[in-house]
Structure 1
Amino acid sequence: MEFVGKLESYSGNKMIIDIPDGFDMNEIVRKSEQGELVVDFYEKDTITNLQRKHYWALVGDIEEYTGYTKDVIDSFLRVEFMKLISLEEYPSLKRNQMKKTVASELLEYVIDLCITNGIPFRKQQFYLTINTSKMLYALTLKRLCWVCGKPNSEIMHVETVGSGRDRKKIDHSKHHFMCGCWKHHQEQHAIGIDTYMTKYHFKPITLNYEDLIKLGLMSKKKVEELEAIEIG
């Protein structure tokens, strides 16, 4: 049994620790009486249990897609990440051995690798432990649903375009976007944009002209016309 508690107060060699919800206090007392209770202190800027959980979930996704074992995948990822950010030694996922910021970089690296190679995600909660905007931007350019990772998803406008307006004449760089499969796009319409973003912890992103051309939302001709107006 392992949990992260918060030091509330102390006096002399005694201290009071706030135990998080969900743990059986009777079990904690029982283990304490058996001499099995160990208190370990760690820095705030250290890898979290949630980050480790998400890392191994991603390793599991790669295992399912490639057929390689988790040990092989884990070793490959850590060595490549080590070379990528010029670490001097093999990175450890143990508490106090990796900073939280470095763990976020590791997750971003693994997620980007999955997106580039078309490896589907079974869970999306890892968004909460990384640079979310960067992740969602990468998913959008690959047209992968922000919620379930389904390919060939739809680019969703956050701001209402308005009925009767020709989307080909709109400067889409002034708008914000999300990406969703048909199912989640319909959910967004059903519950409303604000509720949808709150439910999935999303913040919409903007796209530059180059991105908009790649996604087919704007033509190169229209972009050149708008750029000419801005210069003029």
Structure 2
Amino acid sequence: MHKLAKIHRFKHHEGQTLIYATIDELVSEDKFNQFRNANTGYLEVDIDFKDNRNISVEQRKKIYALLRDISRYNGHGVSRNKETLKNDYIVEKRIEPFSLSDTSVSNAREFISYLIELCFLYDIPFKNKGIHMTDDINRYLYLCLKFRKCAITGVPGEVHHIDTIGAGRDRRHVDHSQHRLVCLSREMHIKAHSMGWEEFAALHHIDGIRLTAEQVKGIKYK
């Protein structure tokens, strides 16, 4: 059962968020009971918050800059790439068609990440540094780890453990999800060790991320 609801207010209570919502139609008790969890007695729902904020000027600039990078690579015009890649993205995400003039902030952020991942996948160079192109820094840092691209320079890189593992430990048996990771080129990796992470991170405005166990598998790192 899928229904559109409106949340009127919420409050926090004992580490939880209580919400008060209405559905603009009558739903019978029998219908609710049909979907009630027999073990817990609760109705379990997925909440997808609709983003009513329009795409920002900065996001639009990033999208067109990425499209120009892709156009330099494949020789197609920006307009052609825009329509083709938008359609591919729509099909992959199973969403409704959208316009770059008024799509939501959230969708623009997802589309930027989609274009960045495409550039990584086909080794398409960025005219500007990738870290300046992203709208989702954690997603960008994850993609850098996945494709072994330096998060700062964009050249081939290697995984750097910000939180020291310890001498003599076998990395194959380390839970990497418990450590902050970042992908750095060999040159940057050496600088990070020589300067110390805090100074290096402040200089390059970057930090590492902790991955889930599934994401660790995704970057194929042992």
Q: TM-score, normalising length from structure 1? A: 0.62
For the structure 1 residues 170 and 86, does the alpha-carbon distance in structure 2 shift closer, same or farther, using more than 3 Å as the test?
closer
Partner of 1:13: none
Partner of 2:188: 184
Alignment of 1:154-173 (within 5 A): 154-168=158-172, 170-173=174-177
Unpaired runs of at least 5, structure 1: 1-42, 218-232
Partner of 1:59: 67
Q: 2:147–2:219: 8 Å Cα contact kept in structure 1?
A: no
For the structure 1 residues 214 and 52, does the alpha-carbon distance in structure 2 shift closer, same or farther, using more than 3 Å as the test?
closer
Alignment of 1:21-36 (within 5 A): none
| Deviation >6 Å, runs of 4+ | none
For the structure 1 residues 79 and 205, does the alpha-carbon distance in structure 2 shift closer, same or farther, using more than 3 Å as the test?
same
Aligned positions, number = 169
Q: 1:61–1:120: 8 Å Cα contact kept in structure 2?
A: yes
1:103 paired residue among 97, 105, 108 = 108
The one-letter code of the counterpart of 1:83 is: V
Name the SS of the counterpart of 1:141 in structure 2.
helix
The one-letter code of the counterpart of 1:145 is: C
Alignment of 1:80-229 (within 5 A): 80-89=88-97, 91-94=98-101, 97-122=102-127, 123-124=129-130, 125-127=132-134, 129-130=135-136, 132-151=137-156, 153-168=157-172, 170-198=174-202, 199-206=204-211, 208=213, 211=216, 215-217=220-222
Tell me whether 1:49 sits opposite 2:57 in the alignment.
Answer: yes
Q: CA deviation at 1:87?
A: 4.3
Name the SS of the counterpart of 1:162 in structure 2.
coil
1:170-228 CA deviation, whole Å, 9 max, x = no partner? 443432211111122123224321233343333423353783696452xxxxxxxxxxx
The one-letter code of the counterpart of 2:158 is: E
For the structure 1 residues 49 and 181, does the alpha-carbon distance in structure 2 shift closer, same or farther, using more than 3 Å as the test?
same
Identity %: 27
Aligned-residue RMSD, C-alpha: 2.8
Name the SS of the counterpart of 1:205 in structure 2.
coil
The one-letter code of the counterpart of 2:79 is: D
Q: 1:176–1:207: 8 Å Cα contact kept in structure 2?
A: no
Q: CA deviation at 1:158?
A: 0.7
Q: 1:178–1:205: 8 Å Cα contact kept in structure 2?
A: no
Partner of 1:22: none
The one-letter code of the counterpart of 1:92 is: S
Distance 2:96 2:177 in 1: 42
Q: Select the structure of larger CA radius of gyration.
A: 1
The one-letter code of the counterpart of 1:159 is: D
Distance 1:51 1:101 in 2: 10
Distance 1:196 1:126 in 2: 21
Q: TM-score, normalising length from structure 2? A: 0.64
Unpaired runs of at least 5, structure 2: 1-50
